[in-house]
Structure 1
């Protein structure tokens, strides 16, 4: 049965309400329930109810205040308010004393199961079974014993889109009011929003609606994202406005939904009590947005773009034409230039090709910040006001990536949305298309992408026409595309179409600006509050090989900042145990695999024994000893060649030179 969304609640169309009840009666009969069955009290057990309340504690603590408010609105109407679990067990009730006595006679009390399987057609059971808000009035109940009731119930969804319970108002069938269901739906929405807010305290929560007066009300959309822009959750109103289900939204990011990089959102709403702004959704709908943001990515790029100029129309709406002259803005590329010579060289090259219609390909290990660099290129270009649309070719299933990239028309395939949907390429029209992990694009789609890039036209699935597109393309990969070409897994002609300028982001272990990167990450994580790192911890971090690069460093420091004591200094005890275990592992102070031609590390003769595990006072010294021994071995193997030793260990030359005073004097001239 088709449904429609009213505000935030899933409601059966009025003309189908009778059919919904009829179908519920058929299910009831199939369950073997007789209409003249008497109320069953066998499920009532104090221990049973206690266990259910414990299991549903999160729902209960957010629902009870709303229930009290709802009961205040219906008091003295011979009614009661009920909260149930997702299985239909009544968890809590409150209501008029006269009606509570009648409810007791039909077992409508806490601890009892009111699913369709046990009670037949009833508002609680049917709402949970169909996931629709529903009213069951009088003799619409399957069991004769319940004909004296009128019940209106709405299912409650948790922040991840799963049914977690139901809210119900039940009363005497003679006091039926047609607006009760709307009141129940609104209360259920309020519970959902309360749970949503408490579930993602550190997420970036975007509140939006097409009409500004609805911001802050029950019908506003709320979507949560990580500080890096990945989708976390969305309430029902947000799903309705975005035109996608919770499952569909999981493949998206903030930029793909709001046509704006997450870093630009930080700039728009970075000041306290920032006024609502207009943004343009991926489907072309303009909405008013508000949010309170606390950037906490690897580091937050302070992008001062035209959107930050509140005196221009473009500042008020990102759906502007974008043809107006750009205002002065701080270079995002400049902000990423933190002093490393290799990275500075990359940025210098990129500055020369910005706005020259030259495709850029970014190479680098996972976690080096390829997506940050792509966004910085976009924001330093004349397309800064236009969409930045990112597509991770490795994260979208092969069966979906074609529709995601090229879009589709209505009826193009089973499950296609009505009126179709524009693809990522169309969404990036006028702006920048970032193809991350391009090496993972399925071979059969590479030819289609090449044709789009050559002809600047895209043909959605099921469409008989082509749509012109104007995009700047940035691609990125951690794979060796030339090896893929040699194996026949990547088209050579597409490779040469994408690599107008190829730049390589250095791995974190290769960079000389480690301390600057650490400070930027800490600043982003802690909102500018001073947190320091103990010198011995900084030495260990500098000596580590960082296989996950900046992303791994960010995650480690995020944990450490939570663990830090009142003095605000990150010490060895504040680092995750798995990280410390890796550092303590004998003979692997930096845990980097050596090249095949290198002999394995062996202990230095006379190396001090490792301290006992229960002697924490020796941790710092023992870790330093292991690190120094490994450096000494590599220097001996490479006859004092610092560059070769550093490369074998996976650290920078500066790391070895910083340990000069601790190494044997004959190894460093």
Structure 2
């Protein structure tokens, strides 16, 4: 009679699964490559458990027992035991790769421990299949640090050796394995934390180092080491007063728990003095005593250079400036947003006037690089001999006419930000080779320079050409094409998004009127329909220019929109003048209604602040529930 409830439940499961009680071997056994993959997947479990299995086996060595380790699916990973009993087990195909879960071999300590989630002991006829009636098995599930079962440990011997203490030994061994996992996790976290801190400190562009109570440098980051001109291993242990001028006074100030902030100082290096700013922060122990000082130095020359890079090098367009509501176009915008924060290269393709730079700037402003520089270079607008110096810069004396002090290239100016290469298909082949090298290695040499310069630049390229065709024609490098085409973005011509034309007309009408200080116009329905039907070879840019022409002249001519698309047949359309405030009121009213009175979203859609929107609503007496989100 079966007395143990988990044995009864297990047998019921075996009957329900149709397990044959006369079965001898597991119905699932992994071989060769499959087994190797399984062992590799469970490498950490095997490495941790094997020494503990060996200790467990030492307690029962010579008594006819063997220890078995399985993974969380019941697949045997390792066996350790007496040779004679292992030979019997091998004849029953109890080998690495054999699945010991209930579905494949019926009730047994390993499979039932997995199914029940608790330690179990299965002896003699408690096994579902007859071939295992000779065994007594004690098994317990192994859990990881999150409580998930990742394996089992089992001790199996002949049935007459059954003893309750055997299960206790297995449970103790499993506890030891789980503790090892915890220790490993703690050690991993400590290592990761240490490396993270080191990486963070080393990645900071400012120089950071610590000075102990006796005035010796204790730690230093890579930037500070390079700035001071000494290898990290050499500078640690050096006296700070030999390097930093005026240290005695600084130390006295910081000793009073006064932070020393952004003061000008000079640092002595093997190559001469460096003019820098210095900030010092005391390290205070629990007793309030100063145990060291954290110092941050920044080279003033580099700070000025960074400020110069930022001036006039910012993207102005955002996705809020992109107007369109057709499904295909909205999908394109959403895709552009989804790839914005990736460091991978973007290739924007589309006809002239489709807004390639608007998308490029919007992607930049939607990314984590939005506060860094956005630098644009039109590869088709520069003479061949200037592209190289514009991209990579040059050192002083590199060629006749070179500026004194050299010249920053676009890559350096865009360091940390985004470089937009417009009309990339016009770039000469030799420049394509240099560009590819920079993209792959993240470093460059200026013209006439010998110093390797590291750059962190996200590339967005654009073209109105079929680059794949240009590759076939030999005009564009194949390897550069694939390096650029990591995240392709194909923009629609305006003729393929006609539903957006009325929306664009409204948008440009208000935007241009505000910009030019003119009165916006209301176009007749007939004129709007003709503008929708027109094929717009210049795309959005042509439409924008047309609206600007209308506002400036207070009239426009609509050409024949038939197959000839001739400009010769023109029809003057009367423009209905409207006051600017009335147009603004109607526009705000439409947007408020569209976004159901949610102030934050409405203000964002209009491109104005919340307070400004409140004033406009009050001024024009617009009905609004003034909802928040």
TM-score, normalised relative to structure 1? 0.37
TM-score, normalised relative to structure 2? 0.40
